[in-house]
Amino acid sequence: MKSDSGRVSHVSRQKENNMKMVAGNWKMFKTVEEARAYFVELATATPPQGDKVRVIVFPNYIALGALATTGSVPAWVLLGAQDVAAEVEGAFTGEVSPAMIRSTGATHVLIGHSERRHIIGESADLLHRKLINSLQASLIPVLCVGETLEERNAGKIEEVVFGQLDTALSDVQLCDGAQLVVAYEPVWAIGTGVNATNEQIEEAHHLIRQHLKQLLGTAIGGSVAILYGGSVKPANFASIAGLPSVDGGLIGGASLKPSAFAELIAIAEQV
């Protein structure tokens, strides 16, 4: 199908087992002009071939709205928002509704990023309402889950991560796994200089996969893409993306430079 901006979108398809996702979260970086220049440069990179790689970029709201009116975003890049309101519309100053996000041509939205949970202080109930609101507007939620260092050291990985999944996906019924993406973010491995080992990443993703099957059913839970988001960069992405239970990466700092992001896309294509 085509998105509202006319770019070709494959989001309605069931996720193929060998497809990798490369998702760039710009966080609070890039003005409108910087965003346009970024995509002009990224457009010179070799586009991913076939259906091996799906590329998504999450700009800030201002840049996202401005990009909808330009032809600078390559056809092989999907856009998403970094957050979404829990309400459809109304007197909620500063909030941005799913319909507003859809009007830019965006197809995805981040929900429950660790910075929203731990810095902004968003509650589990609020994130659940945001996810439901997004699904009802035909946006694809990228649900972020993960534990802090204190929770990991206390042996509460499953308790915390499963609890985040349980609350966010309570009473959620999906037609297929392509309607949802999950991103595992070990909070203790983001910008701390401490990296998760491949064994730790694979174990966490495997546990999340099994829990998704319990929550959503074997077929749908088994086809939801699970991304890794813990200080991913070109130097470590090949080994991470090659793990059996990892479907790609949610990338922060390394997505801010078009050359580094293009390198990550090329790595995903070779895994």
Residue 113 catalytic? yes
Residue 194 has a pLDDT of: 75
For the chain of 271 residues, list the mean pLDDT of each consecutive stretch of 10: 37 56 98 98 94 96 94 96 98 97 98 95 97 98 95 94 98 96 92 84 98 97 97 95 97 97 97 91
Catalytic residue from among 115, 122, 147, 185: 185
Whole-structure pTM value: 0.92
- Scored b (16 or more CB within 10 A) or e, 58-92 reads bbbeebbbbbbeeebbbebbbbbbbbbbbeeeeee
Binding annotation for substrate: 25-27, 191, 231, 252-253
Residue 2 has a pLDDT of: 34
Residue 17 has a pLDDT of: 54
Residue 263 catalytic? no
Residue 174 has a pLDDT of: 97
Instruction: Spell out the domains of the chain, with CATH numbers in brackets.
Output: 20-270 (3.20.20.70)
Residue 260 has a pLDDT of: 98
Catalytic residue from among 113, 128, 205, 211: 113
Structure tokens of 102? 């859809």
Binding annotation: 25-27, 191, 231, 252-253
For residue 41, the surrounding DSSP H or E stretch is helix 32-42
